[in-house]
Chains A and B, each alone.
Chain A
Amino acid sequence: SSVLTQPPSVSVAPGKTARITCGGKNIGSKSVHWYQQKPGQAPVLVIYYDSDRPSGIPERFSGSYSGNTATLTISRVEAGDEAEYYCQVWDSTSDHYVFGTGTKVTVL
């Protein structure tokens, strides 16, 4: 099945901007969704359909695309944003849902 590659880790100071990338073959033709998972907790949807935010998710979270890379941007990072983040798409080749490799965001 399709592989979605994310950087293993991103470190960011409070108040700065964190950018998490998700790359994969033909990802530009797919809808990308993003999840936040804090230690010991279930994943929580933070972005769907590339750039839409569910109710209750701060405007600081945004999604975008460029070529074969999707990006989750967290502006004005707070300590509470420290978590693992995963992207997700549908892979039409395998008829499987695929998650990215995950990115651990550390707030310095």
Chain B
Amino acid sequence: EVQLVETGGGLIQPGGSLRLSCAASGFTVSSNYMSWVRQAPGKGLEWVSFIYSGGSTYYADSVKGRFTISRDNSKNTLYLQMNSLRAEDTAVYYCARYHYDSSGYIEDGWFDPWGQGTLVTVSS
């Protein structure tokens, strides 16, 4: 069974750092495209970051330069290093596996499955 489990969330002061982990089972993270999506309390979904199987990374403008997506192939785990955290980064962070149809554009894909999410609260 394909499963994603996020950990690492918590309460952090503005300006602080936090690293989220997403442990995968049932598939190999390094062979797949993976992403982080967040959801502020009572708000909609916001894409945060993406990593290709080849290692290329992409970020939303709101986190570029502060967040870093990476993976540990030996642990089959995806990470999100979050630095210089702001109150507006408060959200549930989900990791998700990315799929696309090989006959189409890579970018036209979808996210499935998603982990259960981990809550990050940035507050003094």
- List the 4 closest A-B pairs by CB distance, nearest first: A33-B110, A97-B47, A31-B108, A45-B112
Interface size class of B (residues with CB under 8 A): 20 to 34
A86 and B46 alpha carbons, distance in the complex (Å): 11
Nearest neighbor of B110 in chain A, beta-carbon distance? A33
User: Would you give the shortest CB distance from A92 to chain B, in whole angstroms?
Assistant: 7
Which listed residue (A31, A44, A88, A97) contacts B50, Cβ 8 A?
Answer: A97
A-B contact count (CB 8 A): 67
Q: Is the CB of A86 within 8 A of B117?
A: no
11 additional A-B pairs beyond A33-B110, A86-B44, beta carbons within 8 Å, are A33-B111, A42-B114, A43-B37, A45-B111, A90-B107, A92-B107, A94-B61, A96-B61, A99-B44, A101-B44, A102-B44
Interface string of B21-51 (1 = CB under 8 A from A): 0000000000000010100000011110010
User: Is the pair B60, A99 in contact by a Cβ cutoff of 8 Å?
Assistant: no
Q: Which residues of A contact B (CB under 8 A)?
A: 1, 30-31, 33, 35, 37, 41-45, 48-49, 54, 86, 88, 90, 92, 94-102
Cβ-neighbour of B46 out of A37, A43, A48, A99 (below 8 A): A99
Residue of B nearest to A86 (CB): B45
